[in-house]
Structure 1
């Protein structure tokens, strides 16, 4: 439903900053708000991919639109960054009975009134509690999502999801003690994406070895690309609870079919 609505709004967008807001200035939406940041050198007309990013606990969207590892990736890659503000600086992702999924859909619909967004390239992301919220959003309203880009946070792998994104990419540190690394039975390090592997009907894993965006942090990648629908990618690193340098930009480049670059 959200994708159909966005397609209709694509033809009526005002091609201007939403409600006069941009960056640090929040866009009001009912009794709530969100932040938006257009990419650099945008011509004001070309339809934009969107990264809907949920902030971490005790933060707000203004942090997201100023964060070099988030906004620094979108603004140079032609992606519109949208950062909703959670109530009490947090998110209700614990069960499917949450108002935050509907709020996020309202945010996307409002953004589409003011920007010509590409409904086929809606990416959903988040960090920490925000990553768990991104998982919840994809679980409840993910059929119109091109890819979930999740950083260091998830919901229970035993959830029954009504919907799913077309692609899932998740990164997590093996030494994360804030949103603990969800180790599977018998030390199974592929367990952090068990939910999506089951939902998308994935079969055999394909280890793709180590890779790095920056020389001081190495990721190990596993891909499930023989799924009945979609694809799942898991990047593991030896560190703790943080957004890895360049990871979001790297994913956006790969999803766009470009050679990944940093920053």
Structure 2
């Protein structure tokens, strides 16, 4: 792990850090630039293995990811979100064409997503990757999961996590949906992870 501070911060919250990876460092989620492995089955197999061998339970599992790994986490929340209590992601969301709310068949867990206004690798508005692929819009992606989770968007309030103002939408099926927009770039910082893990209830 090159992002060792993220590992150390996770361990400090009394959680194991399980690093999964796509083939050749990429992922094959819907509409990604790297078609290949059935990632939904792969992630399901990993979660089943962790449960069977180490006793991991959904109420102690947090899905996470950065950049394209965050995109993979979003598709996991959409398809298998009931297997985790929360999702914490940085600088990556769905890809175009975006799924519809009804395409997400899982009970979406509570969400905290960080994204930078200066991110040029995965901009908030998304961007084209070559002629055939396009990263999705972060606001539109969040709206999809909030709709699937039946969040009360009219009750949105502003909170602060790690000094970043966040849009906190309550009333969701399994917990608040929080989007934190900072003025940084394409990054995942340990201090942000610290604040997010605390916000979703770890340590317990």
TM-score higher than 0.5 here? yes
Equivalent runs, 1:104-115 vs 2, <5 Å: 104-115=43-54
Residue in 2 that maps onto 1:196 = 145
Q: 5+ residue gaps in structure 1?
A: 1-61
Q: 2:158 aligns with which of 202, 208, 226?
A: 208
Q: Secondary structure at the match of 2:125?
A: coil
User: 1-side partners of 2:51 and 2:172: how far apart?
Assistant: 32
Higher fraction of helix: 2
The CA deviation string for residues 72-112 of structure 1, in whole angstroms up to 9 with x for no partner, is 21111110111112111111123499611211111122223
Cα 1:89–1:152 shift into 2, 3 Å:
same
4+ runs deviating over 3 angstroms:
95-98, 188-192, 227-230
Cα 1:170–1:140 shift into 2, 3 Å:
same
* Residues 173 and 181 in structure 1, CA contact (< 8 A), matched pair in contact too: yes
User: 2-side partners of 1:127 and 1:114: how far apart?
Assistant: 26
Q: Secondary structure at the match of 2:166?
A: strand
Q: 1:89 aligns with which of 18, 25, 28?
A: 25
Residue in 2 that maps onto 1:249 = 194
Residue 127 (structure 1) shift:
0.1
Q: 5+ residue gaps in structure 2?
A: 127-136
Equivalent runs, 1:151-230 vs 2, <5 Å: 151-156=90-95, 158-159=98-99, 160-182=103-125, 190-202=139-151, 203-209=153-159, 211=160, 213=162, 218-227=163-172, 230=175
Give yes or no for the alignment of 1:73 onto 2:16: no
Q: Secondary structure at the match of 1:221?
A: strand
Superposed CA RMSD: 2.7
* Residues 107 and 174 in structure 2, CA contact (< 8 A), matched pair in contact too: no
Residue in 2 that maps onto 1:145 = 84
Q: How many residues align?
A: 186
The CA deviation string for residues 174-220 of structure 1, in whole angstroms up to 9 with x for no partner, is 1111111138xxxx9854511111111223152325x363xxxx411
Which has the higher relative contact order, 1 or 2, with Cα contacts under 8 A spaced 6 or more apart?
2
Residue in 2 that maps onto 1:49 = none
Larger radius of gyration: 1
Residue 165 (structure 1) shift:
2.4
Q: Secondary structure at the match of 1:194?
A: helix
Q: What's the TM-score, normalizing by structure 1?
A: 0.63
Cα 1:101–1:189 shift into 2, 3 Å:
closer
Q: Secondary structure at the match of 2:177?
A: strand
User: 1-side partners of 2:92 and 2:202: how far apart?
Assistant: 26
Q: Secondary structure at the match of 1:80?
A: coil
